[in-house]
Chain A
Amino acid sequence: MSQNRGNRRNHHGRSGGRGGGGGSGTGGGGRRGGRDGQNAGSAVSLDETNPIIQSFRGYARELDAKHDRHERIVKCSRDITIESKRIIFLLHTIDPRKNNDAKVCEEAKQRLENLFRNQFFVIAKELRGQDAYQYARAYTHGMQEFIEAYSFYEYSSGQDISHWHAVQEKLRYKHDATPPVKQESTNEPNDSNTAPVIESSDGQPETESPSATTTDNNQGTLESVCLLQPLDFVLGLGDLSGEIMRKCINGLGSGQVDSCFGHCRFMQDLYRGFLSVSSARSRDFSHKMSTLRQSLVKSENVCYNVTMRGGEAAKWGGGPSDEAFASFVGNANFEAAEEDEGVYF
C-alpha cells in the first residue's frame, strides 16, 4: 500500500490542488500544481502524491458509498415487491362461499405489518440523513407494489382506502440512536401517537418531505422516515384497479353477482380521479391510465352482462349457478377463473 510514504506528501499536494480552498490547514507549503509529479512522471504506476489522484480517491469513496446504499435499497425494494405480490395473491383467495374473509384479511394484515416493520424500516434507516429523493427511484417499484397490496387489503376488508398521509405516518419510525438493530417490538406503528402529526401535515404535503432528515427528539431517539411520494401512491392505486377487476370477475364466478356492481363503481371513481389529474410529470402515469381504462371496460362488461342476462340465467339454471354463468359471460378471464375454482388458493 505504501501508505506511509504517500501520507506525508498528501498535505502538500492537496493544498496545492485545492487552490487553498480550505482543505487541510496543515499543508501550508508550496503551491504545487497538477504537474508536481512530473519529475516522477516516467513511472507508469499511479502517482499517489498527485493531487488529482488524491482527490479522486476521495471522490471514489463517495461514489461507492452512494452506489452501495442504492443497491441495498434496491434489494429491499425487491423483497417488498415479492412479498406484496404474494399478499395480493393471498387476498384473491377470499371466497364468500368458504367464509374465509376474516381469516385471510387477518393474515394479510400481519404480513403487511411485517413489511412495515422490517423492509421499510431498513429503507428508512438507509435514508436517514440523506436526501430521500436521491434514492426514490431505487424503491419506487417496491413502494408502488406495496401500495397496491395495502390498498387492496383495505378494499377487501371493507375499509376505506387510506390517504397517503396516513400511510406515510406508518412509515415514520422512532428508534434508539444506538447502532441500528431491528427492534420489532418498539416500532409497532401506533396510530394514537402519530395522529397529531398527520393533522399538521394535512393539506400541506410539502411538510412531509423534510422529514427525511434526522430530527433528534430527545437524546438517543432518532426518527427515520421512508418517504412515500404521492405519485407512487397514486400509481399504486392505478395498479389496484387490475386487482379489483379480477375480484369483480371472480365475484361473478362465485355467484356474488351484487358485488360486481360495487367493484365496478369503485373503479369508475378511480378512473374519474385519474382523469382529474392534470399534469403528473411521469410517463408511467398515462400508461397506468390506459391500463386502468381497459380494466374498467372489462368489469363494466361483466356488469352489463349480469344486468342484461342475469334474469335469463335465473330461468335456465334456477339460480345463479356457476355453470349457467359460464355459458353467457363469454369472457376469457372468467373462464380462467372458473377453471381454477377450488384449486385456486
Chain B
Amino acid sequence: MQNTVVKGIFDNFNEYLAKEQELRTEIRDIVRDIDQAAKEAAIALQVIHSSISDVPAACATARTHFEVCRAGYVKLAALIPIGQYYRYNDHWHYMTQRIVFLIALTVYLEKGFLVSRDTAAEILGLCVEQQDGFHLDIEDYLMGVLQLASELSRYAVNSVILGDFEKPLTISKFVADLNSGFRLLNLKNDSLRKRFDALKYDVKKIEEIVYDISIRGLRNDGAAATATVAPPPTPTTQETPK
C-alpha cells in the first residue's frame, strides 16, 4: 500500500516540475526579448564616451529601447502568478539590474541626478511595492545604481579626453553622494555587499581625475582666469578634493 502512496507523490511531483518548467520556458523567451532591447540601449549609450554632442540623441534612443523593455515587463508581469515573483526572479534579476543602470545613466546624463526607485519602476511599468504585484526589487535597483558609479568613473576619464574638465567635478560630487548614501545601508554579506565594496575604487578613480584637473589649474570655478592660461601647478589652485 505504501507503494502506491509513494508513487502518487512522485507522480504529482513530476507533474508539478513539468508545469514549472513550461512556465520557465515562456519566461525565458520574454526575458530574451527584453534583454535584446537593453543591449541596444547599452550600445546607444556607449557614444557618450566618444562624443559630447551626441549625448542627448543617445539618451533619446535609449529611451525608445526602454519602451520595448517596458512592453516586455508587462508581458512578464502577466505571466508570473501572484506571490511568486521570487520563485522565478533568477531569470530576470541580472537583466533588471542592468536596465536600472541604463535608466540611471540616461537620467543622469539628461538631468544630473540619481533616478529614484519610483521613477525607474515607472519607466519600466513596474510597481514599487511588493504587495502591488510585479515590482522592482530594491536590491536590483541598488545594484543598478552601483553599476552606474563604475560607468561614471569611465565617463569622467573620457570627458577629460574630450576636453570637458567640468564634468569630472560634478561626477565626483555625485558619486561621493552615492557613496555616503550606501553607507547608510546595513548590508548583509551578500552580492550587494560585494558590489558595494567595489564602489570605493570608482570613488578613488574619480577623485584622482579631479586631483589631476585641480593640480593643473584646469578647473574654472572662481579662478577662471588662471585656468585658461593653464600654467604648471600654481599655489592658487592647490585645493584638492576632499
A residues bordering B, Cβ < 8 Å? 16-19, 21-23, 31, 33-35, 37-38, 41-42, 44, 46-47, 50-53, 55-57, 59-60, 62-64, 66-67, 129-134, 136, 160-161, 163-164, 203, 205-206, 209-213, 230, 233-234, 237, 265-266, 269-270, 272-274, 276-280
- Bound complex: CA A41 to CA B177 (Å): 10
CA distance A193 to B118 in the complex (A): 43
- Which one of B32-40, B42-50, B84-92, B206-214 is at the interface? B84-92
Q: A35-B170, A213-B82 are in contact. Are A51 and B184 (CB under 8 A)?
A: no
Per the bound structure, the CA–CA distance linking A162 and B63 in Å amounts to 53
**Which segment of B2-10, B64-72, B226-234 sits at the interface?**
B2-10
The listed residue (B14, B119, B178, B186) touching A276 by CB distance below 8 A is B14
The segment from B15-23, B53-61, B155-163, B197-205 found at the interface with A is: B15-23
* 23 pairs, CB–CB < 8 Å, chain A vs chain B: A18-B116, A18-B118, A34-B112, A34-B113, A37-B177, A46-B180, A51-B113, A56-B182, A56-B185, A60-B186, A130-B130, A131-B85, A131-B130, A133-B85, A160-B1, A163-B9, A163-B12, A209-B81, A233-B9, A265-B3, A273-B13, A276-B14, A279-B21
Known: A129-B131, A270-B6. A63 touches B186 (CB 8 A): yes
A59 to B13, CA, bound (A): 39
**Do A161 and B86 touch (CB < 8 A)?**
no
A63 in contact with B111 given A205-B15, A277-B14 (CB within 8 Å): no
Q: Is B173 within 8 A of A41, CB to CB? A: yes
CA distance A303 to B81 in the complex (A): 48
Docked Cα-Cα span, A163 to B174, in Å, equals 56
User: In whole Å, how far is A18's beta carbon from the nearest beta carbon of chain B?
Assistant: 4
In the assembled complex, the CB of A345 is this many whole angstroms from the nearest CB of chain B, namely 28
Contacts of B186 in A (CB 8 A): 60, 63-64, 67
Q: In the complex, given contacts A17-B113, A131-B85, A131-B86, what are 11 additional A-B residue pairs having Cβ atoms less than 8 angstroms apart?
A: A17-B116, A18-B119, A19-B111, A34-B114, A35-B174, A63-B185, A161-B2, A205-B15, A209-B84, A211-B83, A213-B82
What 8 pairs between A and B have smallest CB-CB spacing? A273-B10, A56-B181, A21-B119, A133-B86, A33-B113, A134-B86, A18-B116, A34-B113
A-chain residues with CB within 8 Å of residue B180 when the two chains form the complex: 46-47, 52-53
Is the Cβ of A55 less than 8 Å from the Cβ of B173?
Answer: no
Q: How far is the CB of B191 from chain A (nearest CB, A)?
A: 13
Find the residue from B7, B10, B19 having the highest chain A CB count within 10 A: B10
Contact pick for A21, options B16, B86, B116, CB 8 Å: B116
Decide if B6 touches A133 in the complex (CB within 8 Å).
no
Q: Does B142 contact A (CB under 8 A)?
A: yes
The answer to whether B6 and A161 have CB atoms under 8 Å apart is yes
Chain A residues within an 8 Å CB radius of B21? 279
Cβ contacts under 8 Å, A205 to chain B: 12, 15-16, 19
Q: Which residues of B contact A210 (CB under 8 A)?
A: 81-84
Q: Are A278's CB and B83's CB within 8 A?
A: no
Chain A hits for B119, CB < 8 A: 18-19, 21
Complex CA gap A21/B177 in Å reads 20
* Closest Cβ–Cβ distance, residue B70 to chain A (whole Å): 15
Other-chain residue from A21, A59, A274 in contact with B122 (beta carbon distance below 8 A): A21
Flag if A59 contacts B16 (CB, 8 Å): no
The reply on B138 being an interface residue by CB < 8 A is yes
Q: Which residues of chain B from 114 to 142 have a CB within 8 Å of any chain A CB?
A: 114-119, 122, 130-131, 138-139, 141-142
Could you say which residues of chain A place their CB within 8 Å of the CB of B95?
none
Q: Are B184 and A53 in contact (CB under 8 A)?
A: yes
A-contact 0/1 string along B138-168, CB 8 Å cutoff:
1101100000000000000000000000000
* Given A33-B112, A60-B186, A230-B16, also A266-B2 (CB < 8 A): yes
Q: Is the CB of B86 within 8 A of A63?
A: no
A147 to B: closest C-beta gap in Å: 11
